[in-house]
Amino acid sequence: MAAVCLRWRLRQSDVDQGRVMGAAAVARLQSDATVQAQLAMARQEVTETRTKGAKSPLNCAAEKAVLGR
């Protein structure tokens, strides 16, 4: 069985193209009415939950201790 050698060296052009593709994807999502409607519903849900006084189930103190903050 022959070994297949693939070159996986990251180049600056790869990073630049990743940024371009990422920016294009975000721009596309920001212009999509369905995505924007879903984001608005999610924001409303978070606002309502905070208004009700709900607390995060996460242990933020432990996280801060681990991160040294």
Sequence-distant (≥ 6) Cβ neighbours of residue 29 within 8 angstroms: 35
- Distance between CA 15 and CA 32 in Å, rounded? 26
0.75 cut: is pTM over it?
Answer: no
How far is it between the farthest Cα atoms of the chain? Answer: 64
pLDDT tens digits along 38-58: 999 999 998 998 888 877 777
- Distance between CA 14 and CA 12 in Å, rounded? 5
Say if residue 5's pLDDT is above 60: no
Q: CB of 36 within 8 A of CB of 30?
A: yes
